[in-house]
């Protein structure tokens, strides 16, 4: 499959399985429209910020590779933990109800205690004070957990993926060293649509 480029976003279809390729196309098109300023923010049907973040969270899971021994068996669920964002958790539960990722169902858990992130595969950390955000991020370090943050203070550097607003558009930055320390791999399709990739 060839590579494609549009408004500065490039992706190489040869690096994707057929399944991931067809999942990726609608998402990258939406990202392209957003970057190009073609989305209609005034549309009364426009999705809320939390809806968009929930959709992104679910898409992220398709492009993450965990260590082989992360899951007990091929049918074990991918667990997404959510901290400090009940609206996002509600939306994730709704859109993931019939979702499968590489044959695995998706389970959403609302996390309320730092130790509870231990069995999650993705942890979203919403608006939290600096000390609490740092405590949650500490629970994801050196474990096969993808940390996704919606925070702006000094601890944001410790997030593998961080949501950012870029000219009123939702984008995200990726910190590869954080993911590598957790033993997970963020694959090329996701890297190509990130606003920034820190290596």
Whether residue 24 lies inside any domain: the answer is no
- Partnered with residue 184 across adjacent β-strands are none
pLDDT at 93: 94
Whether residue 8 lies inside any domain: the answer is no
Total domains in the fold of the chain: 1
- Partnered with residue 100 across adjacent β-strands are 105
Sheet strands side by side (includes 78-83): 100-101, 104-110, 78-83, 122-125, 146-149, 161-166, 169-175, 196-198
Whether pLDDT at 119 is above 80: yes
CATH code assigned at 58? 3.40.50
pLDDT at 47: 57
Whether residue 125 lies inside any domain: the answer is yes
* Residue bearing tokens 């694959």: 187
Whether residue 113 lies inside any domain: the answer is yes
Whether residue 157 lies inside any domain: the answer is yes
185 — phi, psi (to 5°)?
-120, 125
| pLDDT tens per residue across span 130-153 | 677 787 878 788 889 999 988 776
Whether pLDDT at 46 is above 50: no
- Cα separation, 24 vs 149, in Å, equals 22
| pLDDT tens per residue across span 142-195 | 889 999 988 776 666 678 999 988 887 889 999 999 999 999 999 998 999 999
**What is the pTM for the complete model shown?**
0.75
Whether residue 195 lies inside any domain: the answer is no
Of residues 126, 173, 144, the one with CA closest to residue 78: 144
Whether residue 17 lies inside any domain: the answer is no
Report the Cα 89 to chain-centroid distance in Å: 13
Whether residue 12 lies inside any domain: the answer is no
Cβ-Cβ contacts under 8 Å for 106 (sequence gap 6 or more): 58, 61, 77, 78, 79, 80, 96, 99, 100
Whether pLDDT at 38 is above 50: no
In angstroms, what CA-CA distances link 92 with 50, 62, 103, 126, 133? Answer: 9, 15, 18, 14, 21
* Residue bearing tokens 């033993």: 183
Which residue range(s) make up the domain with 94?
Answer: 48-184
pLDDT at 9: 40
| pLDDT tens per residue across span 53-112 | 999 999 999 999 999 899 999 899 999 999 888 889 999 999 999 889 989 999 999 988
Q: Are 174 and 197 in contact (CB under 8 A)?
A: yes
For 138, the token pair is 């500490």
């Amino acid at each position: 499959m060839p590579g494609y480029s549009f408004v500065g976003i490039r992706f190489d279809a040869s690096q994707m399985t057929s399944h991931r390729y067809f999942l990726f196309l609608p998402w990258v098109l939406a990202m392209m429209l957003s970057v190009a300023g073609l989305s209609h923010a005034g549309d009364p049907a426009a999705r809320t910020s939390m809806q968009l973040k929930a959709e992104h969270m679910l898409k992220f899971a398709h492009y993450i590779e965990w260590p082989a021994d992360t899951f007990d068996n091929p049918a074990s669920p991918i667990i997404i933990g959510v901290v400090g964002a009940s609206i996002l958790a509600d939306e994730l539960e709704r859109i993931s109800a019939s979702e499968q990722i590489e044959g695995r169902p998706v389970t959403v858990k609302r996390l309320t205690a730092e130790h509870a992130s231990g069995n999650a595969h993705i942890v979203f950390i919403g608006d939290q004070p600096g000390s609490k955000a740092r405590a949650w991020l500490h629970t994801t370090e050196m474990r096969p957990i993808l940390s996704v943050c919606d925070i702006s203070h000094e601890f944001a550097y410790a997030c593998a993926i961080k949501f950012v607003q870029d000219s009123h558009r939702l984008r995200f930055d990726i910190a590869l060293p954080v993911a590598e320390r957790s033993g997970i791999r963020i694959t090329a399709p996701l890297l190509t649509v990130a606003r920034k990739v820190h290596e």
